[in-house]
Amino acid sequence: MKKPIIELTEAEWTIIKAVWAAEPCSAPDIQEKLRSKTAWTYSTVRTLMDRMVAKGLLSAGKVRHLTLFRSAVTREQAQRSELLYALKHAFNGALTPMVQCLLDTGEVSARELAQLEALIKARKKSASANPRDTHPD
């Protein structure tokens, strides 16, 4: 089964990161947490969070007179979806140019390069043990 595509706006990223750090949480909690960063009012935060519930990004439940929000997607799901979106749209699905672009930023440490090499080595080992069917072009 194909994983659902998760698309977050910049504002939704701001909200969901705050929710991940404090869940379960209320809209006033998030508004207070983001006050210095965004200057958003309570109504702005609450509207964004309600829309995120409608999109399936957050879940909401009532405890007495308080609505508590939780994330409905994990950080990993959101990151993967964002990355795959960039791969598809900015690089036409070509992984090598995307990785080259990231490496060319100069922000990659020797430790990160070693981790990448280990991931590639493990993937090669896995691929040789379980070869996939190839489809001719």
Residue 27 confidence (pLDDT): 97
Is it the case that residue 112 has pLDDT exceeding 60? yes
**Distance (Å, whole) CA 127 – CA 49:** 42
Tell me which residue of 111, 93, 56, 63 sits closest to 78, measured CA to CA.
56
**Distance (Å, whole) CA 11 – CA 53:** 14
Quick: pLDDT tens for 11-60.
999 999 999 999 999 999 999 999 999 999 999 999 999 999 999 999 99
Domain spanning 1-90, CATH architecture: Orthogonal Bundle (1.10)
Is it the case that residue 1 has pLDDT exceeding 60? no
Is it the case that residue 136 has pLDDT exceeding 50? no
Quick: pLDDT tens for 54-111.
999 999 999 999 999 999 999 999 999 999 988 999 999 999 999 899 889 878 899 9
Does the predicted TM-score (pTM) go above 0.75?
Answer: yes
Tell me which residue of 66, 58, 63 sits closest to 20, measured CA to CA.
58
Ordered by start, the domain boundaries in the chain are: 1-90, 94-129
